[in-house]
Structure 1
Amino acid sequence: MSFHQSGGGGDAACQYMGSKLWFRGPPGDLSKPYVACLGGKETFGRFVESPFPVELGKRLKLPCINFGSLFCGVEAMLGDPALLDLVNASEVCVLQVPDLPCQSNRFYRVHPRRNDRFVEPTFDLVQLYPEVDFTEIHFVRHLLDRLRAEQDARFEIVVQELQESSLRACSKLVRRIEPPVILLWLHVQRQAGMHSDPVLPDAAMIERLRPFCSGVVECPVCVTAVSDTLEDVLFGTLQQPMAEHVIGPSAHREIAGKLLPVLRDLN
């Protein structure tokens, strides 16, 4: 197990034995029964002292291990057997619905661990967008913003593929998790003009995942720029633009509050 404290905002990150992924630290106690909280940047809780797994643990009186990773999507989770072993050793798993674009699909490939990174287009995407120079694109969101800027029906073909491929991957992940799964579906409100999410999970996708889960928790939250809570998060010099895109402490407490009765009902 390794652990380090990053600069600026003071986010702690750690690795667990056998896993190549970095999660929110400090490392949790795996010697006792625990809840596994699996997810992306909201679960990680960047610039927040007590992300929702910490708040949930306080209320449950049970360790809630934060397996949130900043750049981790379903592909990285499925590709990390050590992480799946840790999740399967838990009493219950809270799984944040992952970012749909951060997944290899028929149109592009992502980095196996840094799922936010665009590696290469497939032949199908090059054929669909012959005018786009993909050599200048390094991140998935940049790619999708570039494709969406063409403002034609081709982007809907990409969106449909992302929804279908993500549903397949999420279904596979949920079926590989042995303890009960509580699906956490966050509706993150962002400020107009901020980096918008080009593809979001919808109710139809959640309904198709519901039979594999013990419960679904929906929670609307706002980033700090919308909720006017920037002063509540911890960030360093030059980090304000990033801090405006995260959810603050009050949102994490709200998420914990929504999860608490569902987890208690499982006992």
Structure 2
Amino acid sequence: MSFITSGAGAREEEVCRYPGSNLWFRAPCAPLDEPYIAFLGGSETFGRFVPDPFPDLVDRRLGRPCLNLGCANAGLDTLLKDPGLMRIAAAADLVVLQLSGAQNLSNRYYRVHPRRNDRFLAPTPKLAALYPEVDFTEFHFTKHLLTTLLGLGPDRFAAIREELRHLWMKRMSRLLAVLEGQVLLLWLQYPDAGSRRGDPLGADPLLVSRSMIDRAARQSLGVLEVPVAPASLRAGEMGRMVFGPLQAPTAEKMLGPEMHQRIAGQVAQRLQRLL
């Protein structure tokens, strides 16, 4: 067993590994020798900075094992490229999959980190040729990269958006096929940043439209839409989270305990009808 550490003066969540997987998950890892529900997703599913992530809360509400297979900063690439994780998820009675954005996919224009998919690694020659004036060494995160490129004009960016949306659909379809469609899609609906602060990429999941989600839903058990808000917008939420002094800017963008309770309640209610 180990801990996720950030160098920000705090010991973070205890983590563990399941057999056959190279990824870190919230500890303790649950036994795999009895029926279970698997939860796949990114930082929200993992439950950064909260004592009780929503998969754990669903476990208690339903009284049956719920495996938290959320990985901090994970996207579709993280999930698909870990065979051990895919085997564990495919063996579940049912999977709850948190929808992730399209920005965190390796593609013909740039590469992302294989496990922390929000990290930008390098441009491809195709992207360098499309934006010869850009110094790509300045970027460490995909959202910063894409926001900057979009700011240089919508015409060139259109090709990147189309590429990312195409790959999101392709990889989502592949993931759902591996899981044989026994998947409830979880859409955590944040306030539309584009309407409030002028964020050109809009709200999470970034670059993923409702029509794309509707298409994915036809290959699954459906979509559960849960409105959520980051901790900074909920009175008292930051005080109920655990983070170091240098982690506050990150923690305020995450979901607090109240939101995890809301998600758990709605997920448990839907699962009761599906199981």
TM-score, length basis structure 2? 0.89
Q: SS where residue 116 of structure 1 aligns?
A: coil
| Matching residue within 131, 134, 139 for 1:132 | 134
User: Which of 249, 252, 261 lines up with 2:269 in the alignment?
Assistant: 261
Instruction: Tell me what 2:245 maps to.
Output: 237
Inter-CA distance 197–261: structure 2 relative to 1 (3 Å threshold): same
- Figure out how many residues of one structure are paired with residues of the other and give that number: 266
Shift of 1:190: 7.2
CA RMSD of aligned residues (A): 2.1
Alpha carbons 2:181, 2:220 under 8 Å: kept:
no
Unaligned runs of 5+ in 2: none
Match of 1:227 in 2: 234
Corresponding letter in the other structure for 2:158:
E
Which residue in the other structure is 2:109 paired with?
107
Give how far 1:53 is off. Answer: 0.2
Going from structure 1 to structure 2, the CA distance change for 1:72 and 1:194 (only over 3 Å counts) comes to farther
CA contact (8 A) 2:40 2:69 kept: yes
Q: 1-side partners of 2:29 and 2:201: how far apart?
A: 31
Contact kept in structure 2, 1:36 and 1:94, CA below 8 Å: yes
CA deviation after TM superposition for structure 1 residue 158, in Å = 1.8
For structure 1, which segment, 216-225 or 29-38, has the greater mean C-alpha deviation from structure 2 after superposition? 29-38
Q: Please list the CA deviations of residues 24-57 of structure 1 after superposition, one character each: whole Å capped at 9, or x if unmatched.
A: 2221232321110000011011001111001101
1:248 and 2:247 equivalent?
no
Alpha-carbon distance in 2 for matches of 1:71, 1:84 = 17
Letter in 1 for 2:189: H
Trace 1:1-267 onto structure 2 (pairs within 5 A): 2-4=1-3, 6=5, 8=10, 10-178=12-180, 180-189=182-191, 199-228=206-235, 229-267=237-275
Name the SS of the counterpart of 2:40 in structure 1: strand
- Are residues 194 and 18 of structure 1, via their aligned partners in 2, closer, same or farther at CA, if it must alter by over 3 Å? farther
Could you tell me whether the CA contact under 8 Å between 2:147 and 2:201 is conserved in 1? no
Conservation of the 8 A alpha-carbon contact between 1:3 and 1:15: no
Deviation beyond 4 Å, 4+ runs, structure 1: 190-198
Unmatched 5+ stretches in structure 1? none
Q: Write the distance in 2 (CA, Å) between the matches of 1:5 and 1:111.
A: 17
* Alpha-carbon shift at residue 266 of structure 1 (Å): 1.7
Q: TM-score, normalised by structure 1?
A: 0.92
Q: Given residue 201 of structure 1, which amino acid in structure 2 is its aligned partner?
A: V
Identity %: 41
